[in-house]
Structure 1
Amino acid sequence: MKEKPLFFVLIALTILLFLLSLSVGKVAISFSEIYQVFCGNADEMLHNLVFNFRLTKSLTALLVGISLPISGFLMQELFKNPLAEPSVLGITSMASLGVAIVIFMFSIVGLEEYLNNPWMIIFASFFGSILALVLIISLSFRIKSSASLVIIGFMIAGLAAAFIGIMQYFAPSEKIKSYLVWGFGSLSGLSWEQLGIFTLFVFSGIIISLFTLKGITALLLGEKYAQSLGINIKKMRLIILISTALLTASATAFAGPISFVGLAIPHICRTLLKTGNMKVLYRWVFVTGIFFMLLFSILTEIFPFGTLPINIITALFGAPIVISILLNNKNEVR
């Protein structure tokens, strides 16, 4: 398979999807009208719709499409497990716990008015994610096995779920609904200021992740071979953890706990390419993630009975992929 021509086709299709995401919605907008918006010739209503709603949503989809698949790719290569994903270290669960504390506890202690601040949920989610990162990194210095880190991640996720369950049990029904709505995930509603911060965290995580590609490639032939090339395994694992945490934390904080994307996209790229070249896989995961998230963003808009939550679309897409992984790797996935 000629990889580079296909890659350029994928980039072209992704750009087309980005433009289409600005056009598709409850109110259809032609490409010529979009062109007028960016030229400054459109009326105020059309400019506001495209610039402050659809463009921000499309850029959010782009950033989520970068962060979660790259996180999944790094996790799968680090743990040598095709079922590893961004939530495997408990980062997503701790983000959910942070949001649950704000939604459930603030109403109990009389701070409910602060929930109207759009930054509050984002801060709570990000703080929970960073707390998980600190725990995992602290433990990674004491634990040599990557498999043990996965187990600890599951335990962190279990504890977070238990605390969330306790709060839900005593919370009023309207607060439970608010938490469930956040759990569906959303690509819309971000301001340009929030989008700027989201972009900063995502590209910080991406830049850090680039330093791991050489080590990941060497690890394909075993840890001893990697060490013979001068690869510091502990340092590389730490860099992967930091990069993954930054990417997952920012995506969860600004878009909610979006599932399956980080697991399915790297698997699709490996299946199509069948290559051990990590740089090739990395760039394909990068662009393919953007492609699918833009596609999912469009699908949420064309649903006839209202805007469909993004997590429903990703679950419908990702669940068959997980089943195929289990069927095709039954001797490897344990």
Structure 2
Amino acid sequence: MKEKMLFYVISFLTLLLFVGSLSVGKVDIPFVGILHVFTGSSDEMTNNLIFNFRLPKALTALLVGIALPIAGFLMQELFKNPLADPSVLGITSMASLGVGSVIFLFSILGLDVFLNNPWVMILASFIGSLIALILIISFATRVKSSSSLIILGFMISGLSGALIGIMQYFSPSDKIKSFLVWGFGSLSGLSWEQLFVFILCISIGIIFSLFTLRGITALLLGDRYAQSLGINIKKIRLLILISTALLTASATAFTGPIGFIGLTIPHICRTVLKTGDMRLLFRWIFLTGIASMLFFSILTEIFPFGTLPINIITSLFGAPIVISILLKNSNEIR
């Protein structure tokens, strides 16, 4: 009963945060002013500010809040490792390598016209994420040590950074600057066309992830038990692979490599709920991720010296939680 009540409270808080993200900025808009926008009785300047800037940013925060925590949740369940996360295991870095390859190589080859196509960025990011996941899964079948997987993630990140560095060396300075700015992470600047692609990719990734929940619950009791229930383990792992790659790739392509959020939100929800019900946990992670990213989005706007990059906010929030996970699991993570 308490869990349901808390869920409703967080749902209401999420709604308030969504409205707050439309209200807060360099020019504050009161709640009544937002109501006027959606009832069609507002002035043109306020309409333009809401529909072309703040609403796309709020929706972007919502989508990232869904994508990265769910991707982190799936990876943690797949590897049975509380430190499994798209950024820790190098998946985000490989997605960044995919995006960087498009930005730098296309500029070198004179194909800049394709950079405005959101599908190109998504495809490049997806391929990078998928390669990283395949490497991690193939490595995980040979090595059971959790710390070895984390080291592999650092090596993948290092290799990605080296390849990006090589491309930067030969690229025009304006492309280097645009990639560096993209690397800070940003929830702003998406067009409605890009948002449509973003929503489509996240929706497909979430649908795939929903089909894995029953299998994940069974796998908690062991592969043999899952097989006795008729669970196709290879199929479940493949669905997790595709879902995680798609969710991570789309979030990274459109908002930059945002770290920690995929690791911390599932950890917080598990700590609060203490449940093995994957469907319940999934709903909580889904909602808490949205609320968190909307809150972080508001924090970026109220910074007194300009808009703060979202990656800085999530790192300040996530790093202490990662340290607490390491301390609590120091006897298990080896």
TM (norm. structure 1) is: 0.90
Structure 2 residue identity aligned to 1:133: L
> Who is 1:123 aligned against?
120
Residue 44 of structure 1 corresponds to: 44
Partner Cα separation in structure 1 for residue 170 and residue 135 of structure 2? 33
Q: Write out per-residue CA displacement over residues 4-58 of structure 1, whole angstroms, 9 at most, x where no aligned residue.
A: 1110111000001000110000000011110010011111111010111101100
Partner in structure 1 of residue 17 of structure 2: 17
Q: CA deviation at 1:223?
A: 1.6
Residue 245 (structure 2) pairs with residue 245 (structure 1) = yes
State how far apart, in whole Å, the 2-side matches of 1:123 and 1:146 are: 35
More off after superposition, 165-174 vs 247-256: 165-174
How far does residue 95 in structure 1 lie from its aligned partner after superposition? 2.2
Question: Contact 2:227–2:233 (CA<8 Å) still a contact in 1?
Answer: yes
Do the aligned residues in 2 keep the contact of 1:96 with 1:125 (CA within 8 Å)?
A: no
Aligned letter for 2:204?
Answer: S
- Change in Cα spacing, 1:12 to 1:44, as seen in structure 2 (3 Å) is same
Kindly state the Cα deviation for residue 88 of structure 1 after the two structures are TM-superposed: 5.3
* Aligned position for 2:224: 224
Question: Residue type matched to 2:196 in 1?
Answer: G
Aligned partner of 2:62 in structure 1 is 62
Q: What is the CA–CA distance in structure 2 between the aligned matches of 1:284 and 1:208, rounded to whole Å?
A: 18
Instruction: Answer with 30-39 or 99-108: which moved more.
Output: 99-108
Check 1:142–1:263 CA distance in 2 against 1; reply closer, same or farther (3 A cut).
closer
Q: Cα 1:172–1:275, aligned 2, differ >3 Å: closer, same or farther?
A: same
Structure 1 residue 168: deviation in Å?
A: 3.1
Unaligned runs of 5+ in 2: none
Distance in 1, matches of 2:171 and 2:121, equals 18
Which shifted more, 185-194 or 155-164? 155-164
Letter in 2 for 1:43: D
Alpha-carbon separation, structure 1, partners of 2:80 and 2:96: 26
In structure 2, what is the Cα distance between the partners aligned to 1:142 and 1:182?
30
Superposed, which structure 2 residues align to 1:18-33 within 5 Å?
18-33=18-33
Please say if 1:95 is aligned against 2:92: no
Query: Aligned-pair RMSD on alpha carbons?
Result: 2.6
The 3 A distance-change label for structure 1 pair 332 and 321 is same
Alignment of 1:200-239 (within 5 A): 200-239=200-239
Q: Is this contact kept in 2: 1:22–1:34, CA < 8 A? A: yes
Offset at residue 173 of structure 1 (A):
5.1
Asked whether the 8 Å contact 1:17–1:294 carries over to 2, the reply is yes
Worse-superposed segment, 10-19 or 210-219:
210-219
Deviates more, 1:229-238 or 1:17-26: 229-238
CA displacement at 1:131 relative to structure 2: 4.6
CA contact (8 A) 1:136 1:153 kept: no
Alignment deviations for residues 209-230 of structure 1 (CA, whole Å, 9 cap, x no partner): 1111111111222222212211
> Any conservation in 2 of the 1:300–1:307 contact (CA below 8 Å)?
yes
Aligned to 2:74: 74
Q: Is the 8 A contact 2:259 2:315 kept in 1?
A: yes
Tell me, yes or no, if structure 1 residue 35 matches structure 2 residue 32.
no
Give yes or no for contact 1:100–1:164 (8 Å, CA) kept in 2.
yes
Written as runs of structure 1 = structure 2, the 5 A alignment for 1:102-121 is 102-111=102-111, 114=113, 117-119=115-117
Q: Which residue of 2 aligns with 1:273?
A: 273
TM-score scaled to structure 2, two decimals? 0.90
| % identity of equivalent residues | 70
Map Cα deviations across residues 52-108 of structure 1 (whole Å, 9 max, x no partner).
110110000000000000000000011000000124564322221233234333444
